[in-house]
Amino acid sequence: MKKKKIAMIALLRGGIGHYIAELSSYLAKDFDLIYISYKFGLPGDKVTLDDPAIAKNIAGKAYFSIAYNNYKETNQSLGEVLEIIKQEKVDILNIHIGTITRETTYFLIPLILVAKEMGLKILYTFHDVESFEKFLPGEDLLKTFYNLADGATIGNEIEEKKLLEKFAFPKDKLAMAKHGIYTIFDFKKYDRNSARQHLGIGLNKKVILCFGILRPYKGFDDVLKAMPEILKKHPEAFLYINAGVRVFGGPKDLQNLAQKLKLGPNAKMSFDFVPSDEIEAIFKAADIVVLPYRQVSQSGILNLALYFQKPVIISDLFMEAKVINNQSGLVVPPGKPDQIAQAAIKLLDDENLYQKFSQNMAIYQNDSTWQQTAATYKKMIERI
């Protein structure tokens, strides 16, 4: 029997690109896949298949065809993408919903309407339902956009509730598909010591890591504010913030805060784009990963920490907070630097507790969530 062909529409970079790379090998057993990506990620940043983790794991041809800088470019892209869909004889458009897709609804809505006229089915993958940035489309437009789907998957119950209640998405068109543990970043190039040598971090330091795209709601400033208290008890503590900068919220505030707190050699910050083959070193160099988010949908960074067996400190807004607390890490309220400090000190004080949390994370090495997610996709596609 001939396989149906899915065209995945998403930015083949960053968290959603990595999600697709993990999922693709499982989906490819039942479907033919192609990928239609955006030409640009950050302003002026041309996207190519240069991410080793994505290039190695996607299971089909990638087109970099979506441009959105002006109306002329957008119209040309629309024609180009529709031609690809025709030539490739695509059956299903799988649109991955995140910040960049919400930014480009004016491109995607006409694409979907024409694709439906061509007989294609539309499947959404919701990575989150609302952006925390306020400049994106309003609720009415998003409701129209979201309800063009024939079916959708979503990653957790919090986002599901938003989608059903705020955007009136039909429950019978929705299926739960949990985010799996990232496995594609461990190239086996580093151990703890060689990772630290590579990054220029002392071997005797206790490294507290904040990682991910820099956005105000992630609360990295709260970890900076926690550091003076941590250093009183553990002068070997070292804060490493590795945060790529998006179009809003630059690093200046964090740099000024570190200077004001006189953290000096006890903190290092990098705000450059991180190639996927550098992620292994960053996490293997870390002792603790802190995610003090003030708002959260789902987090690929948490899944990275679980895979690399790094105990975490997370805010109680995470859907996983009850599962994580006192099993794989500690949970604190958002916006409370003093409690971040107490949690970090607790982990650094008690080696047995630290090792218990790390060993508890070993179960995630054999996580089967991606297989289950692929099975959910298959069931949903059969329904639509």
The verdict on pTM exceeding 0.85 is yes
Give the DSSP letter string of 173-238: GEEE-------TT--S---HHHHHHHHT--TT-EEEEEESSB-GGG-HHHHHHHHHHHHHH-TTEE
pLDDT given at position 42: 54
Q: Evaluate whether 240 touches 271 at the Cβ level (below 8 Å).
A: no
Domains along the chain with CATH numbers? 4-180+367-383 (3.40.50.2000), 192-365 (3.40.50.2000)
Confidence of residue 375 (pLDDT cuts 50, 70, 90): very high
- Mean pLDDT in the chain? 92
pLDDT given at position 199: 97
Q: What percent of the chain has pLDDT over 70?
A: 95
Confidence of residue 136 (pLDDT cuts 50, 70, 90): low
Calpha distance 21→50 (Å, rounded): 13
pLDDT tens, 52-106? 899 999 999 999 999 877 778 888 999 999 999 999 999 999 999 998 899 899 9
Angle at 291 (CA atoms; ends 288, 296), nearest 5 degrees: 155
pLDDT tens, 176-211? 998 889 999 999 999 999 999 999 999 999 999 999
Calpha distance 105→55 (Å, rounded): 27
Q: Evaluate whether 300 touches 18 at the Cβ level (below 8 Å).
A: yes
Contacts of 56 (CB under 8 A, 6+ apart): 21, 184
Which of 154-163, 256-265, 291-300, 322-331 is predicted least confidently? 291-300
Decide if pLDDT at 134 tops 80.
no
The gap between the terminal CA atoms of the chain, to the nearest Å, is: 18
Calpha distance 78→345 (Å, rounded): 54
